[in-house]
Structure 1
Amino acid sequence: MWRNAGLRDRDLSSLSPENIWRWIRVFRESVRVLGNIENDDYRPLRKQRYVACGSRWSSGGLVTYADGSKRVVSYSCSETACTRCYDADKARTAHRYLNKILALSDSQQIDRFWSFVVTLPEEVEAMIPYGSTTRKKFMNELCKWVRKLFGLRAKDGLFCYANIHPVGDSDLMRDRFHVHIGLLPFAVRRLKEQIEFIQCDVEGLIDTETALSKLEQLLWRVFPLTQRGKAQFKAQYIPLREKSTVPRLAHRLKYDLRGFEKDVELAPLFFDESSRMVVLKSGEEGYGIYTVDQIADRWRWIRSQRDLRPYGLLKQWNQYADILGIEFEEDPEPEIEEEQPIIIKRVYGRQWNPKKRQVRWTNEKRAYWKQGGTEIKDFKWGRKGSEGFWKPRANAPSTGAHET
């Protein structure tokens, strides 16, 4: 690593809470230029909002509601190219999925949520770019393979999602396509004038060796492979009848659907601002040296290749929710009496944790008054209200046939 003449004699900065903001500022500016985020007639403050959204100091508001309660909110730019806004959008999708999973599992007494990870052979990775017919065919075949694992027919509407991750956790700059799949073993089957809901969970655990063998047959059908690829398949389930496992399910969904903000912003080990060079971990033991612009372009590529697809009951949720005894309850934000401007400070980076005796990432937000700079304490983050939520009705119908 240190044979690079441009870095050998430089004072490289590790990403401590003080130094990380230098890296984030330079990285986000490169992303802004690459994404052409500029002010225009319709958005005269677009650039300023983007810059402030990811900085150490940003804008927010202290919201006072008509009932006297108060909340602190942090403003965002809502740009797709913004790592934080992009990741927050995917986290909202994960929260919506969590709400539907819990509502359906309570309504139909479903015991388990299944999580699969399918890692593709390296030979396949260049064959499934976003928008290609090959990717569409592969995803359709993959969904059929999942249905067969639970004894379903090809057209049964299994409650399922599949999300392609184009990179792995250990090497940001290496293509490593893999698919995260989450599902409830519950499906809808249409039979002429009737629809039938099916509980289709397997007994015990899934036979991963048999499943992997079927997966490799699928790959040979879809791709012109020159050798039997080393596909990988992992399966685990999360019990749903225990409330203590809800945080585990929420974490699984957020991980499966994530927008890769932390993967990109936290990837550098060292950063030299003058040369705009970054040291990244590469594989298990190696390291790589890249420019800031290379990583910004990589971030754009990751966004372009990520691909979330809902299937079956999840995709047709509004069509079947009422039949399944699930209703939507609105949760609007209460009337706002006043919204005062404040300043948000972020503490972000690697810090030594004396209790754990290891280096941990810290990510904290603190609120201060815009005038005077006094810290605001004893408050809750986020506005009241939500997008609304799904919940089971009393006496919800069970599985079986229903007239349409």
Structure 2
Amino acid sequence: MRSIVPQAALLVMSALSVNAFAEEVGESMNWYRCNTHTHTSAPPKSDANASPEFVAEWYKSHGYQCLVITDHEFLTDVTPLNKKHAERGEFLVIQGQEITQALIDESRPTGKRHFHINGIGTGRAIMPIGYPAGARDIAPVDMYVRNIAEIQAAGGIAQINHPNLQWSVQLNDLLPLDQPFLMEVWNAFPTSNNLGGIDDIGNVAPSSEAMWDSLLSAGKVVWAVASDDTHEYYRFDDRLSPTPGQAWVVLQAPQLTQSAVMAALRQGRFYASTGVTLQSYEADERGISMRLVQTPEWSPSTSKPNTRIVTRFIGESGRLLAEVTGLNPAYRFKGDEQYVRAQIVDSNGRRAWTQPVFRDGRLNQLLSRR
């Protein structure tokens, strides 16, 4: 299958050209499509139904260049997979783990709240607090602080998973965190409640994207991820099954190595997508511009592509700064923005999210504390 990633295009992501995490980039930089939340049947108590070998082959054959295997409380050995694929520079598998952190809460219908977090590129397994039953008598933020510290000590990158799973995570659980992290604004598991909602008595849960804006508006450095959270590899006829190929990130790196991929994730050199493709993206001191790829029709020989696309440039508190239609959206900075990011939606519901361009110097402040 042809890769959807335009390898020859130049991507100058926001974290590079405006933010403090700056690097020189040129035509030699490549785009790599990657899933950062993937389960296999490797662990003894796995809840996924395909081997690491099958999983790697599926993603490689469907246009991905890298994959993070994040089995629950288990570090799946990726060495044989990389021996087969990575030595030729065609596909990379990164070791990781989903820390399946739970908090006992008898007021909830399931008796628990869920605070799952991925460790990407970790060198050892990390057990959740209170495993396996769940933690008691501890604040959610303290669990996040502990687990993020453990992930960083193990050489990894922290990714907050599906915050609206069972309506578990609240904004106040994340606001005290002072380290940068990744967060899923879109998790393709069918019951992740990405869009938020209101219950029968009026309790409001914001969308994962709105929660991201609240964190950004509070001065945090958070990079947005879309991922599969794959568990099911055969039942593609069941729309309620967590099958692969539904959400991903496209990152920029000079080469397909673990160090280069990890650097791109740490620095926000990627965009998240459920089907929208960027041909190019550039941000400088004047503004943001991008070129989008028209989605082809199912049968190109009989129909000309006519999908319509709208790009919304969004700032502090989720405020709409501008709305632009077409394949060449651009935004010129006004000078008073705290940050600017883009949400792209096409007429068939596919989406993409670019990372925030910070205009308030927060990355410089972050680096000065290190």
Superposition TM-score, scaled by structure 2 size: 0.24
Which has more helix, going by share of residues?
A: 1
Higher relative contact order (CA 8 A, sep 6+): 1
Between structure 1 and structure 2, the one with the greater Rg is 1
Greater share of residues in strand: 1
